[in-house]
Amino acid sequence: MIRNQLLICAGGACITSGEKSVKDVLVEELARNGIQDEVQIIETGCMGACDLGPIVVVYPEGTFYQKVNVQNAGLIVNEHLVKGRTVGGLLYTEPTSERKAQTSGDIPFYTRQVKRVLRNCGVIDPLSIEEYIARDGYFALGKALEMTPDEIIKTVQDSGLRGRGGAGFSTGIKWKATKDATGSPKYVVCNGDEGDPGAFMDRSVLEGDPHSVIEAMVIAGFAIGAATGYMYVRAEYPLAIERFEYAIGKAREYGFLGKNILNSGFDFDIEIRIGAGAFVCGEETALLRSIEGKRGTPSIKPPFPAQAGLWGKPTLINNVETYANIAPILINGADWFRSVGTSKSPGTKVFALVGKVQNTGLVEVPMGTTLRELVFDIGGGIRDGKKFKAAQTGGPSGGVITADYLDMPIDFDTVKEIGTIMGSGGLVILDEDNCMVDVAKFYLGFTVDESCGKCTPCREGTRQMYHIMERICDGKGQHSDIERLSKLANVIKDTSLCGLGQTAPNPVLSTIRFFEDEYRAHIEDKKCPAHVCKHLLTYSINPDKCVGCTACARQCLVHAITGEVKKIHVIDQSKCTKCGSCYEICRFSAIRKE
Amino acid sequence: MKSLEELKRIKEQTLKAMDLRQAKNRGKVVVAMGTCGIAAGAKDTLMAVIEELEKANIHDVQVVQSGCMGLCDREPTIEVSMKDQPSVIYGDVDDANARRIVHEHVQGGQVVAELVIKRGNI
């Protein structure tokens, strides 16, 4: 008889922070106390609060233990499960009220979210198809097989669901176009090639709830008339691949994949295609070439994949998160889906909230939620009491949202108006210590590396832009550089074939638009206002504060600091490499960074 | 898997196994598991309560453990708090008494008067 269930988050972040060894300790302690048959341990997908990991939740109370490690994991067994005493030291303390949260329901990070896509992540065992079924899994498929393909497509269309991969194209229209296209066979493809730096929404869905994607792909196959599906996922996601593969096996065993699914006469199966992690393969035409075994380079559209996709046949390609929305729409209806979100962007969006916020992790909120709610209510504000500067959205294809737009509802269309994109949902929060020129340079560097090289403007243009960014950061910027960057950026946007090139200049254009003064400070004053760009920094010693402790002189590897004990020290600017180690070691705040 | 009926059956079966994770709002049985309670047999009491609730098909009552309530000479003790009713603390709850309390109090709504130590919150 089971009296308690321990749910351990086995998402990627918690595994990295030691989930497996915590689990081993729990198993050992349960056995030592002889209660291994009364307490069940279940590993779930990502629970979302990644910087609180490893997370252990004890049911039936739902007690939420965070930052569990091998030293303190035993307390959960010996105190909570054996003696009935909550382990206070492992509870989450709410930073503003300093109250201890007993359950996830007491933590604002969780209470503000609306979990639709992530409905099962962190709740069920991703390896258990039975638990997926218990949460209404495969009932949408059962329902769909009793509908006509047109009825299914109409429901998806009425829901207003838009592609969660980034561009926000109507999913229903895509389904209809693929169904109406002539050509046979047709294919269903899932784009799991999540490539934006800092984004992990799709990985978490594949790791935490793989059946939700499988079920939707079968439904899509039935709706458009396809018998084969491909899951394209990058090789950097080994756990996602492993769990998805296992889930495919289980779905076949239960008859949700294979011949004559649920006695309907419909056949469908899914194969996994592992990508090598090229960013361009997230672009749909390049992805399709990669599945075909060719080099992943994009091709001109039209024809769209709906007309001529895989091997020239009509192909439906949707993103992981888009598919994860399908089953609830079919079960609850289009109106239910529209009950949250905005009229033009209904539903929810999953964000990977990272950067300088207190609570980083995976969050799902209704479309139209403001950046203020995301950063300050769910994210708990900026770390170390610093000031919010901007949020970077859409990865290397996007731009920034500044403090002036904190109260703007975020959806596909509003972010586009201010020069950035929703993208797949990466949300990197930047504070006053981030240099916007440096941030733009980082993203541009990413696209320079990831450009497939097919189009000259993208291949050469982004590299030239990068050179200009480099010289601005090195203090060699020229007065005409901002104008030159903008001009080059617009040529690249206008003349590149695929989305990668067309959007690659966005981080630069967006930061020029909102932070032109920072660019000018770099170029004209040779200063980096955020004190990030190394070549624009000067370290010096404040004679009023220096006590002559010699710590900095001993730390300096290039012997640029001279001075005797108890006398004021001096930095030789001609020798200084600006490594900042004196700044770090000084206990008297005597080192000035300007 | 050939029909929706089969799917429903798996759902019902698995929901039972996942029951501990569902919200349970009708009431709560707290078993005191201090050293004194455990020495007096609180672990058997705990398992008896869980087993009896399962047998009676009651899924909206939470069974949790607590530390010592401070009534060491009447251990094992349990506290039954049903929604909208004052909670009741029982003493000397061995396996048989635990089953009786589940039947008469949790299921039947009748307090088992002879085992009561205190009514109302401590």
pTM: 0.91
Please check whether residue A4 touches B, CB under 8 A.
yes
CA distances A73 to A41, A412, B43, Å, are: 13, 43, 21
My answer on whether A158 and A242 are in the same domain is yes
Q: Mean pLDDT of all residues in chain B?
A: 88
Partners of A270 in beta bridges: A229
Determine the pLDDT at residue B22.
80
Q: Which of A431, A466, A494 is the last residue of a domain?
A: A431
Nearest CA in chain A to B52: A1
Report whether pLDDT(B96) > 90. yes
pLDDT of residue A90: 95
Nearest to B2 among A38, A128, A255 (CB): A255
Asked if residue A81 and residue A23 are part of one domain, the reply reads yes
Residue A502 pLDDT class (50, 70, 90 cuts):
very high
**Mean pLDDT score of chain A:** 94
| Residues A185, A43 share a domain | no
User: Is residue A529 a part of any domain in this protein?
Assistant: no
What pLDDT is attached to residue B69? Answer: 77
CB within 8 Å: B66 and A85: yes
Instruction: Classify residue A113: in a domain, yes or no.
Output: no
The residues near B50 (Cβ < 8 Å, ≥ 6 apart) are A1, A3, B63
Identify the CATH number of the domain in which residue A363 sits.
3.10.20.600
Nearest Cα to A480, choosing from A501, A471, A437, A496?
A471
Asked if pLDDT for residue A377 goes beyond 70, the answer is yes
What is the C-alpha separation between A217 and A347, in angstroms, rounded? 19
The answer to whether the beta carbons of residues A362 and A353 sit under 8 Å apart is: yes
CATH code of the domain in which A554 resides: 3.30.70.20
Q: In degrees rounded to 5, what are phi and psi of residue A135?
A: -95, 40
Q: A507 and A566 share a domain?
A: no
- With a cut of 70, say whether residue A337 has pLDDT above it: yes
pLDDT tens digits for A95-154?
A: 777 889 998 888 889 998 999 999 999 999 999 999 999 999 999 999 999 999 999 999
Pick among A61, A102, A124, A250 to test the B interface (most B CBs inside 10 A): A61
Closest-CA residue to A310 (of A271, A284, A275, A279): A284
| pLDDT value, residue B67 | 81
pLDDT value, residue A324: 98
Read off the pLDDT of residues A67-86 as tens digits, 9 standing for 90 and up. Answer: 999 999 999 999 999 888 89
- Tens digit of pLDDT for each residue in A540-559? 999 999 999 999 999 999 99
Residue A115 in domain: no
Cα distance from A250 to chain B (closest Cα, Å)?
12
Residue A364 has pLDDT above 80, yes or no: yes
**Shared-domain flag, residues A298 and A267:** yes
Interatomic CA distance for residues B32 and B62, integer angstroms:
14
User: For A435-469, how does the pLDDT look when each residue is reduced to its tens digit (9 = 90+)?
Assistant: 999 999 999 999 999 999 999 999 999 999 999 99
What pLDDT does residue B23 have?
76
- Asked whether residue A123 is assigned to any structural domain, the reply reads no
pLDDT surpassing 80 at residue A33: yes
Examine residue A531 and state whether it is found in any structural domain, yes or no.
no
Do residues A449 and A489 share a domain? yes
User: Is the CB of A84 less than 8 angstroms away from the CB of B65?
Assistant: yes
Looking at the fold, whether A139 and A285 belong to one and the same domain comes out as: yes
Residue A574, burial from CB neighbour count under 10 angstroms (0-12, 13-18, 19+): exposed
Chain-chain contact of A60 with B65 (C-beta, under 8 angstroms) = no
Whether residue A120 lies inside any domain: the answer is no
Look at residues A73, A57, A53, A47 and name the one whose alpha carbon lies nearest to residue A7.
Answer: A57
Nearest CA in chain B to A260: B2
Residue B122: band (very low, low, confident or very high) from pLDDT cuts 50, 70, 90: low
Domain closes at, from A43, A76, A107: A107
Residues A256 and A326 in one domain: yes
- Taking only the tens place, the pLDDT of each residue in A163-218 is 998 889 999 999 999 999 999 999 999 999 998 888 999 999 999 999 999 999 99
Q: Residues 6 or more apart from B80 whose CB is under 8 A from it?
A: B27, B28, B29, B30, B87, B88, B90, B101, B105, B106
Domains in chain B, start-ordered, CATH in brackets? Answer: 25-119 (3.40.30.10)
Interchain CB contact of A266 with B (< 8 Å)? no
Domain boundary among A384, A408, A431: A431
Q: Pairing between strand B88-90 and B78-82?
A: antiparallel
CB A397 within 8 Å of CB A489: no
Query: Amino acid letter at A241?
Result: I
Probe site for chain A from B6, B8, B10 (most A CB atoms < 10 A)? B10
Q: B68 pLDDT band (50/70/90 cuts)?
A: confident
Q: Is residue A117 part of a domain?
A: no
Residue B74: pLDDT above 90? no
Number of domains in chain A: 5
Instruction: Tell which of B1, B25, B31, B47 to mutate to test the A interface (max A CBs under 10 Å).
Output: B1
Whether residues A332 and A357 fall in one domain: no
A440 and A418 share one domain: no
Chain A residues in contact with B47 by the CB 8 A cut-off are 1, 3, 38
Quote the domain boundaries for residue A414: 348-431
Residues A157, A100 share a domain: no
Q: What is the CATH number of the domain that holds A272?
A: 3.40.50.11540
A425 C-beta neighbours (distance < 10 Å), count: 27
The CA radius of gyration of chain B, in Å to the nearest whole number, is 16
pLDDT of residue B121: 63
Percentage, residues of chain A above pLDDT 70: 100
> Which residue has 């309907």 as its token pair?
A264
Does residue A215 belong to any structural domain of this protein?
A: yes
pLDDT of residue B33: 85
Compute the average pLDDT of residues A473-490. Answer: 96
pLDDT tier for residue A156 given thresholds of 50, 70 and 90: very high
* pLDDT(A287) > 90: yes
Do both A289 and A143 map to the same domain? yes
Amino acid at A145: L
